[in-house]
Amino acid sequence: MNMKKYIGYRLISSFFVLLGLSLFIFTFSRLVPGDPARLALGPMAPQWAVDKLREQLHLNEPIYMQYFYWLSNLIRGNMGQSLVTRRGVFSDIVEFFPATFEMVIFSVIISSTLAIVLGVTSGKYANSWWDNLVRVTSYVGIAIPSFVWAIVSVFLFGYILRWFPTLGRVSTGIALPPKVTGLLLVDSLLAGRLNVFVDGLWHMMLPGSALVLGRLSQEARITRASVVENLNKDYIMAATSFGIPERTITMKYLLKPSLIPTIAIMGMDIAGSMGGSFIIELIFNWPGIGRYGMSAMLSNDINAVVGVVMLIGIFFAFMNIIVDLITAYLDPRIITKMKGT
Amino acid sequence: MDDMIVDIRDLHVNFSIYEGVLRVLNGVNFRVGRGEKIALIGEAGCGKTTTVKSIMRILPIPPAEIVSGEVFVEGRDVLKMSTQELQNMRRKTVSMIFQDPTAALNPVFKVGNQIGDIIKYSQTRSGEKIQKEEIREKTIQVLKEVAMPDPERIMKNYPIQLSGGMRQRICIAMALVSATKLLIADEPGTNLDVTIQDQVLRLIGGLVRKRKTSVILISHALGAVKGLVDRVYVMYAGNMVEAAKTEDLFSNPLHPYTKALFNAVPKLTGGGIPEGIGGRIPNYLDPPKGCRFHPRCDHAMPKCRRKAPPLYDMGVGHEVACYLYGGE
Amino acid sequence: MDTERLKERIRKNWYKFSRNPLSIIGLVTVLGIILIAIFADFVAPYPKHAFIFVDFPNAKKSPSYEHLCGTDMSGRDVLSRIFFGFRYSLLMAVSVLSVATPPGVLLGLVAGYLRDTWKDTVIMRFADIFLSVPSMVLALAVCSMLEPTLYNAMLAITVMWWPWYTRLVYGLASSIRNEYFVQAAEVTGASTFHILFREILPNCLSPIFTKMTLDVGWVILIGSTLSFVGLGAQPPTPDLGTMVSDGSKYIPGQWWISLFPALFIVLIILGFNLLGDGVRDMLAGD
């Protein structure tokens, strides 16, 4: 099997899985007890208004019809209307996505770099004091749920030490730079507004660190294990026996095979951070997809819930394919060993 | 000492494992002259690989520990060398062909890339730069030397894409690039088909004749190495027990172990399937005192149990470590 | 004779387990938590404070000798509530894993054995649906659409947990089925049931058990996150996540109401993680 066939297979496979996901989440959301229309309009609204809304949302029709309507709308890019914000779900998502994306990318860059550095150094100098320190810290880091870290960091860095702000994306009263990418940090740099850049960065520290913590520990552990395993491999001994300088061995011959598991998990982590962001954005009032999705879920905003879940599903599938491709590129054994060769 | 490429004196090496300390090498004495071709034979686990890895100092030092002894390569003790001198030795003087070619090749780098790196560091003087084109040329050249078909294409392949025999030849190529004086071949071709193994041994033989390098050929196949080497060392349980010129050893083995080894090989001329050697190889955690072969030896004497015999010189380059042939 | 072999195996396994001192710490921690959970009525200094109890004059008192972790906004002793809270954490882990594992394993066995047929693809793609979104998102979505109770939270987590076991067993079963003893059973006409449960499954038990032990920490982590956002056990139940959430309104003033439960959540997860690592080291060699 070559690359092209592999990509094709993955795309088709993902399509069906996502279809299945949409069916599952859609059905589930419609079977919820309680009347979404009533919930949206509130207890004071007159019954005729509620009934009218129900008509509009096709809520009285059989499930498969509702699904059909939804699917045909989806193809046209219409994800329905949010019962809370009264706008199209799709435009809501487009508006809120960049904030989450920015924070996820920011935290991934930090956590990956740190994870590789920590993992490689602790693996190479296994059982040294540094290694033990890193390992113990990772153990603890993995055990801390993101909301716990969020609370603790708000308490410690927000109140006691007062280093970082605790809510929102920018301080109130700051004029935002013109929207080019939707990413605040990038836009503010492009517009030359350094004070906004710093303000935005500062606001990202606490929520970002909550995202970083769990990921960093896990990635560092995996990298370390991989490094330790590869250090004992014959090819490293062989490289030494040919007189290849140690620096080259570490940076080239050890690093590449060791990073393969790390990259795999990094891809999962990027997508997983989208999930973790739900809680974190809620706590820090960060205007992203997570907060939007979270409030949609808590207020039974069925269209929004389905929209957000589907978006994340698509993103996740996309990340998985990319990670698999990168891994296959890095490790030639994978494609060679696949069936169909 | 000057015409010795390798001179190992009384080398003791231990390995630490869960259950304790393995006393693997028990005072090894071993010499290879310039241009000499040596076979090192012995059972699996007798310490052959450990000995040669000590020459290149690539033993993994936390589990392994070099307790005592000296390992001279071209007159200088490897165990006392600085990192720079060690690297020079590995790049210019000695190199090794590993037993398992698949394990010895890095799976995620192209073969040409790996050979190229060795050329880059081995074939230049320190500080001297070498052009990519020149590296490419030399890579192709060495691949041709090991009889690789279509070197330009092979260079771009990953190890997984090559057959076992090809991988073995890549390992040989890598060793050739990296050494001018001594080549150590650790059971080359053992993991492969017998016909391929034969090809590999012939290839090594031809290359060595052409380049006039010294060779240490490790094997547990007696017959295979007979035609290739000048001298043979027989090793048992961490000691050299006999050394002689090839014809001498085969026509006149002296050490009880060597004799038993030869008797254990079935002969086409008849005589039935011989019995093996009674007993088992010693437990390195608690090896026998004195001569390590004495529990299995038909001629064991009381003094064999007390102290291991040194190598006695019987003349014409024939040495035996056995009290039957010397001692007080 | 059999007891001799059993004793030898136990000793060998204990040796492998105890090589890493952290595993022992994990074991001790977990045992402590389990014991406290079971005997909370006797161990907690103020067992009556666990659910509904009001004592406003004593409310919001900082940690002291009488109340090691302080009192909360209703005057209840935080430490006692934490001890009772262990019960819900453990309950969550045990229920989820015992319900999610069997179907997951079964599907994995079938799919792995029937590898490279359409049935294999169908099963695995079905499992993939539940793996197609990050676990937290799915759990939140499902949970939010149901009544917020502990039971529903467990259900939500179970729904998205089982596919991991399917994947694990799928990988194992598809390589085991190529072993000689499986082929021998096939050739002698053994039923599929026999092959799956008597030949393949016993060889999967170690990895499955290892994963279960390592999963306990994760289930508790996700469970406490769900109750933190209000989707799990409701007050006055002394669930640790709920306690953190209730107490978060009082930060920074009465920080102990939130922080101590949070600390113990970390402790529980850490304990199970260390234990899980030890179990993995112990079973790895087999």
- DSSP one-letter string for B34-61: TT-EEEEE--TTSSHHHHHHHHHT-S-T
d(CA A267, CA B212): 53
Mutual angle of helices C201-228 and A146-153, in 10-degree steps: 30
Q: Nearest CA to CA, how far is A334 from chain B (Å)?
A: 10
Q: Nearest CA to CA, how far is A261 from chain B (Å)?
A: 13
Q: Which residues contact B327 (CB under 8 A, 6 or more apart)?
A: B303, B309, B312
DSSP B265: S
pLDDT of residue A279: 87
A·C CB contacts under 8 A: 127
φ/ψ of A79, rounded to 5, equals: -95, 15
Closest CB to B107: pick one of A240, A244, A257.
A257
> What pLDDT tens digit does each residue of chain A (341 aa) get?
577 887 888 888 888 888 888 888 888 777 777 777 777 777 777 888 888 878 777 777 787 888 887 888 877 777 777 777 778 888 888 888 888 888 888 888 888 899 999 999 988 888 888 988 998 888 888 889 888 888 888 888 877 777 777 777 777 767 777 777 767 777 777 777 777 788 888 888 888 888 888 788 888 888 888 888 888 888 999 999 888 888 888 889 998 888 888 888 888 888 888 888 888 888 888 888 888 888 888 877 878 888 888 888 888 888 888 888 888 888 877 766 665 43
Collect the ranges in chain C with pLDDT lower than 70: 1, 285-286
Q: Nearest CA to CA, how far is A101 from chain B (Å)?
A: 32
Collect the ranges in chain B with pLDDT lower than 70: 1-2, 125-127, 267-268, 270-275, 327-328
Alpha-carbon distance values, B314 to B33, B310, B321 (Å): 18, 12, 10
Closest CB to B103: pick one of A233, A240, A257.
A233
* Contact between chains at C259 and A272 (C-beta distance less than 8 A): no
> Which amino acid is it at A131?
D
Instruction: Give the burial class of C286: count Cβ atoms within 10 A of its Cβ; 0-12 exposed, 13-18 middle, 19 or more buried.
Output: exposed
Chain B residues inside the 8 Å CB shell of A248: 117
Chain A residues inside the 8 Å CB shell of B107: 235, 257, 331-333
Chain C residues inside the 8 Å CB shell of A162: none
> Which amino acid is it at A93?
I
* Contact between chains at A243 and B90 (C-beta distance less than 8 A): yes
d(CA C285, CA C279): 11
**For residue B236, what is the enclosing H or E element?**
strand B231-236
* Contact between chains at A21 and C225 (C-beta distance less than 8 A): no
Beta-bridge partner residues of B96 = B184
Is residue A237 less than 8 Å (CB to CB) from chain B?
A: yes
Residue A207, preceding peptide bond in cis (omega within 30° of 0):
no
Closest CB to B105: pick one of A235, A244, A337.
A235
Residue of B nearest to A256 (CA): B108
Q: What is the ipTM of this complex?
A: 0.84
* Contact between chains at A271 and C134 (C-beta distance less than 8 A): yes
Chain A residues inside the 8 Å CB shell of B122: 242-243
DSSP SS3 for B24: strand
Chain C residues inside the 8 Å CB shell of A275: 133-137, 140
- The answer to whether B160 and A334 are in contact (CB under 8 A) is no
Q: What is the pTM of this model?
A: 0.81
Closest CB to C137: pick one of A24, A140, A312.
A312
Chain A residues inside the 8 Å CB shell of B100: 234
**Residue A280 has which token pair?**
């974190």
Interface subset of C 17-46, CB within 8 angstroms of A: 22
The sign of the dihedral angle between the CA atoms of C177, C180, C186, C190 is: negative
* Contact between chains at A316 and C273 (C-beta distance less than 8 A): no
If you compute the radius of gyration of chain A from its CA atoms, what whole number of angstroms results?
Answer: 24
d(CA A47, CA A128): 72
* Contact between chains at C252 and A160 (C-beta distance less than 8 A): yes
DSSP SS3 for A295: helix
Residue C252, preceding peptide bond in cis (omega within 30° of 0):
yes
Q: Which residues contact B84 (CB under 8 A, 6 or more apart)?
A: none
Closest CB to A241: pick one of B95, B106, B108.
B95
- HEC string for chain C: CHHHHHHHHHHHHHHHHHCCHHHHHHHHHHHHHHHHHHCHHHHCCCHHHCCCCCCHHHCCCCCCCCCCCCECCCCCEHHHHHHHHHHHHHHHHHHHHHHHHHHHHHHHHHHHHCCCCHHHHHHHHHHHHHHCCCHHHHHHHHHHCCCCCHHHHHHHHHHHHHHHHHHHHHHHHHHHCCCHHHHHHHHCCCCHHHHHHHHHHHHHHHHHHHHHHHHHHHHHHHHHHHHHCCCCCCCCCCCHHHHHHHHHHHCCCCCHHHHHHHHHHHHHHHHHHHHHHHHHHHHHCC
Q: E strands along chain A, which residues?
A: none
Residue of B nearest to A232 (CA): B60
DSSP SS3 for A172: coil
- The answer to whether B296 and B278 are in contact (CB under 8 A) is yes
Q: Nearest CA to CA, how far is C137 from chain A (Å)?
A: 5
Unique residue bearing structure tokens 């993101």: A146
Closest CB to B178: pick one of A235, A243, A253.
A243
Chain B residues inside the 8 Å CB shell of A240: 58, 90
- The answer to whether C37 and C58 are in contact (CB under 8 A) is no
Task: Using alpha carbons, select from B20, B45, B60, B31 the residue that is nearest to residue B238.
Answer: B45
Chain B residues inside the 8 Å CB shell of A331: 107-108
Chain A residues inside the 8 Å CB shell of B118: 242-244
Unique residue bearing structure tokens 């699996």: B44
**Residue B62 has which token pair?**
């936390």
Given a contact as 3+ CB pairs under 8 Å, which chains touch B? A
Looking at chain B, list the stretches that DSSP marks H as alpha helix, in order from N- to C-terminal side: 48-56, 83-88, 101-104, 111-122, 132-145, 151-155, 164-177, 194-211, 222-226, 246-251, 256-264, 302-306
* Contact between chains at B103 and A232 (C-beta distance less than 8 A): no
d(CA C107, CA C125): 12
Chain A residues inside the 8 Å CB shell of B89: 243
* Contact between chains at A256 and B109 (C-beta distance less than 8 A): yes
**Residue C7 has which token pair?**
């004793």
Q: Nearest CA to CA, how far is C146 from chain A (Å)?
A: 7
> Which amino acid is it at A164?
F
Q: Nearest CA to CA, how far is B58 from chain A (Å)?
A: 7
Chain A residues inside the 8 Å CB shell of C267: 143
* Contact between chains at C125 and A316 (C-beta distance less than 8 A): no
Chain A residues inside the 8 Å CB shell of C224: 145, 147
Interface with A, mutate which of B96, B108, B111, B123 (most A CBs under 10 A): B108
d(CA B261, CA B258): 5
* Contact between chains at B58 and A240 (C-beta distance less than 8 A): yes
Is residue A242 less than 8 Å (CB to CB) from chain B?
A: yes
